[in-house]
Amino acid sequence: MRWASAVEQRRASDYETALYTAHQWESYGIKAEVVEYYTLLSYPVHRRLAIVSPEQSAQELNLTEGSVADDSCTTDPTALLLAYSATGNVTASVVYANFGTQQDFEWLASSNVSLGGKIALVRYGANMRGLKVMAAEKNGMAGVLIYSDPNEDGFTRGPVYPEGFYRPEDSFQRGSVNYIPLYSGDPMTPGWASVEGAARLTYEEVTNVPRVPVLPLSYGPPSSTALWWWWWSRFQSQRGDPTSVG
């Protein structure tokens, strides 16, 4: 495990880890075989996140992960990506939607908060990240930002890495946002193996991936913290309540 986790394992990279694992099994007398699969994968090209309005709040938000000097996995991290996010450029207001459950979006709608065409700011926890995006898209939202809540995985739970086990403020959660309840695995080969020569859906026929862009956020400033306070001040103002940002 130490060898396998010493460096970041990038998807569709060379066979080094696969061959090492097969060799280890064979050294224990267990027959092992390396099999190739040809799946739809996504890779980051360019990412930018900024508050552009009002002018006095305009700022670029952090999409750079911190590093730990003696941890090789953090000194050359993979670019931030939530796999299967759609490509897109969205400029819209942000709506905070708690955990991004369907119940959260229904509560917002019942509170007369407009959702259509907006960007959802949701936190990790309570449900899978793909379900958050699925619910946001179902409610007509144009993009999703998912941040790590320190109350779920951060300094409020205990010491953060490297002193402890919890997530530091400049760490971003990666993963997939495909719609697993519809079907899991390779989006283009639902129900059958994605081996060479297999029949495949076109991307337009795929139904288990988002059609809106999605980005992960850390909980440290200037990232989800700035967005949350920006949204809260706007929400209170729209309700006619006094705005307090501190």
Residue 76 lies in a domain: yes
Q: Which of 220, 208, 221 is nearest to 177 (CA)?
A: 208
| Residue 108 in tokens | 């917002």
How does strand 50-51 pair with strand 59-60?
Answer: antiparallel
How far apart are alpha carbons 198 and 64 in whole angstroms? 38
Indicate if 149 and 178 belong to the same structural domain. yes
Residue 15 lies in a domain: yes
pLDDT of residue 116: 92
Residue 42 lies in a domain: no
Residue 245 lies in a domain: no
Indicate if 163 and 113 belong to the same structural domain. yes
Indicate if 109 and 215 belong to the same structural domain. yes
Question: Residue 166 sits in which domain range?
Answer: 47-239
pLDDT of residue 50: 85
Count of the separate structural domains present in the chain? 2
How far apart are alpha carbons 123 and 234 in whole angstroms? 19
| pTM of the predicted model as reported, rounded to 2 decimal places | 0.82
Residues with Cβ within 8 Å of residue 108, at least 6 apart in sequence: 95, 97, 115
59 against 116, higher pLDDT: 116
Terminal C-alpha separation, the chain? 44
| Residue 38 in tokens | 């040809």
63 against 133, higher pLDDT: 133
224-233 per-position pLDDT tens digit: 555 555 555 5
| Residue found by looking up tokens 């959660």 in the block | 173
Residue 199 lies in a domain: yes
Torsion of Cα atoms, 176 then 180 then 185 then 186, to 10°: -70
What is the identity of the amino acid at 40?
A: L
How far apart are alpha carbons 155 and 169 in whole angstroms? 8
How far apart are alpha carbons 99 and 87 in whole angstroms? 23
Indicate if 52 and 80 belong to the same structural domain. yes
Indicate if 235 and 121 belong to the same structural domain. yes
pLDDT of residue 235: 47
Indicate if 104 and 16 belong to the same structural domain. no
Indicate if 121 and 24 belong to the same structural domain. no
Residue 246 lies in a domain: no
How does strand 119-123 pair with strand 94-96?
Answer: parallel
